[in-house]
Amino acid sequence: MADAPSGSSAPSAPSDFIRRIIADDLRTGKHDHILTRFPPEPNGYLHIGHAKSICLNFGSSLEVGGVCNLRFDDTNPEKEEQEYIDSITRDVRWLGFDWADRLFFASDYFEKVYECAEELIRKGLAYVDSLSAEEMREYRGTLTQPGRESPDRHRPVEENLRLFREMRAGVHPEGKYVLRAKIDMAAPNINLRDPVLYRVKFATHHHVGDAWCLYPMYDFTHPISDALEGITHSVCTLEFEDHRPLYDWVVDHLDLGCKPRQIEFSRLSLEYTVMSKRKLNLLVKEGLVSGWDDPRLPTLAGMRRRGYPPEAIREFCARIGVSKADNRVEVGQLESCVREALDASSPRAMAVLRPLKVVIETLPEGHLDRLTLGNHPKRPELGQRSVPLTRDLFIEADDFAEISPKGFKRLVPDGEVRLRGGYVIRCREVVKNEAGEVVELRCTHDPATLGADPVGRKVRGVIHWVSADRSLPASIRLYDRLFLRPDPEEEGQDFLTMLNPASLETVTGRVEPSLADAPPEARFQFERVGYFCVDQDSRPGALVFNRTVTLRDSWAGGN
């Protein structure tokens, strides 16, 4: 893809049971081309689970020379909005996929779907039912008991047709009638117990306006839409497995000239987050997060704002694979992909999250070294930048310890450490306030160590720093997991009670001056700290960075 960094490794080549089915269908001649589709309902923002589906649907087809349609499954006007259509198209494109001119709406097929319904009625395979919703539930039976037939089940075809047309014409109120398929009220699969095909809704549809007051159900619309588009493989998640007999029933009893095959895979679960649009919607509506693009959310908009590169998400989807097994993927799996992509592509910079003043007494007042540092340790083509080194500096508070923990390689009283890209300094004096807190370090520097190793001794530690007066203040948002538990709903918990109160910490740090004009979404590695991106709220003079992910830290475990 266009923004794949040259330094990144080749993406994993996916292979799974669905791709195998596709390969077999091509090999045996069942199909001579492949056409898949990604069919989101525009009732929320896309999340990483959708990314798995997008990568699968687009990927499996593209890899064998096929294409993939983008189709909005917009059969329920009460839950759908144009805002979601806009966000979805943006997110799919951002992820790196292109549907060319194949953008479709199930609602554009409503006339054809309606004709299919009349066809079923004429064939005696569908009927208008006047059972109320509650009655229908009673008649449906239970998981262990068969249902009973509605008294309307044997309504004459002509009457069904008349009533159905009246439903379309708007003469009947919502809830009075529905159109049902006539299948088998005793079927062990509840989806086959005369499922509802159409219901009346006097709602304005976001895409077709007031053209209809009669809306088809997913189970009826989806197979017809697939067949109309000539979809060869209709890939969806496991909860639709029980619907496949109904999917096949619809296609088999209609003359659509095409029979797509539905194949199901298990949806993605990620640790410490929730993945359903209903729950995400709740978090957004309740104001528990800042919006659909809150960087703590698993939404693609949130991940984009967090600084996750699209190629990292694609790689993640390739690595986790596709199967039918229940799963809950570790966050580290995703973070590994993010770090891999960002290590290769991100320019380095220095920033201090929790500043501790350092004065280099051996440098004169007003001293200024304009150091030229490489933007990337392995990619000189990413250029260089100038970093000012002055007498007064800030270092990370964590990089100094009065009492050295064992194995500590940073600054301690009377100890030496290298300033990244600068001199080796020695701590001569620790200045504290009345409360006994360390507020300043008085140090000396070894002028012979700029770009050279000190003679006669080895300095193990290297720490990052910024000039005290030539650095810029920045608001830095440190994100952590949104929930306290890997499964926020474990043991029937209300997931809202499991929110992590520390999922966002904002600190005011200092960043090197080269970052002054970095535009929103620009990504950097703050050396030794992590990967950060410029937030859309950032302005010159009021910089805002989001922590995308920390650097891997093999020291953190030791203390």
Residue 319 contacts RNA per CB under 7 A: yes
| CA distance linking residue 206 with residue 481, whole number of Å | 35
| CA distance linking residue 441 with residue 432, whole number of Å | 9
Residues 404-463 close enough to bind RNA by CB under 7 A: 407-410, 418, 420-422, 449-453, 461-463
Which of 559, 474, 481 has the alpha carbon at shortest distance from 518? Answer: 474
Among residues 50, 233, 261, 348, which is the contact residue for RNA, using CB under 7 A? 348
Residue 276 contacts RNA per CB under 7 A: no
Output the DSSP codes for 430-497: EEE-TTS-EEEEEEEEEGGGTTSPPTTS----EE-EEETTTSEEEEEEEE--SBSSSSTTGGG--GGG
Residue 311 contacts RNA per CB under 7 A: no
Q: Would you call 277 a catalytic residue per the annotation?
A: yes
CB of 43 or CB of 290, closer to RNA: 43
Residues 38-77 close enough to bind RNA by CB under 7 A: 39, 41, 73, 75-76
CB of 357 or CB of 420, closer to RNA: 420
Residues 169-188 close enough to bind RNA by CB under 7 A: 174-175, 178, 188
From 140, 182, 199, 277, the catalytic residue? 277
Residue 380 contacts RNA per CB under 7 A: no
Find the shortest distance in angstroms from Cβ 435 to RNA. 25
Pairing of strands 523-526, 530-534: antiparallel
Find the shortest distance in angstroms from Cβ 290 to RNA. 26
Residue 17 contacts RNA per CB under 7 A: yes
Find the shortest distance in angstroms from Cβ 10 to RNA. 12
Residue 100 contacts RNA per CB under 7 A: no
CB of 53 or CB of 538, closer to RNA: 53
Which of 248, 306, 220 has the alpha carbon at shortest distance from 478? Answer: 306
Q: Would you call 267 a catalytic residue per the annotation?
A: yes
Q: Give the Cα-Cα-Cα angle 514, 295, 329 (nearest 5 degrees).
A: 120
Find the shortest distance in angstroms from Cβ 106 to RNA. 8
Residue 149 contacts RNA per CB under 7 A: no
Residues 221-250 close enough to bind RNA by CB under 7 A: 222, 238-243
Find the shortest distance in angstroms from Cβ 312 to RNA. 12
* Contact status, residue 509 vs residue 354, Cβ threshold 8 Å: yes
Residue 93 contacts RNA per CB under 7 A: no
Residue 217 contacts RNA per CB under 7 A: yes
Upper half-sphere CA count for residue 420 (Cβ side, 13 Å): 26
Which of 471, 503, 459 has the alpha carbon at shortest distance from 355? Answer: 471
Give every CB contact of residue 531 below 8 A, 6+ residues apart in sequence: 307, 338, 339, 342, 346, 523, 524, 525, 547, 548, 549, 551
CB of 156 or CB of 558, closer to RNA: 558
Residue 196 contacts RNA per CB under 7 A: yes
Residues 496-535 close enough to bind RNA by CB under 7 A: 525, 527-528
Stretch that binds RNA, among 82-90, 153-161, 296-304, 326-334 (CB under 7 A): 326-334
* Number of residues that this document lists for the chain: 559
* Contact status, residue 247 vs residue 190, Cβ threshold 8 Å: no
Among residues 144, 286, 370, 541, which is the contact residue for RNA, using CB under 7 A? 144
Secondary structure (3-state) at 67: strand
What is the 8-class DSSP label of residue 217? -
* Contact status, residue 292 vs residue 45, Cβ threshold 8 Å: yes
Among residues 89, 281, 290, 336, which is the contact residue for RNA, using CB under 7 A? 336
Which residue numbers are catalytic? 41, 267, 277
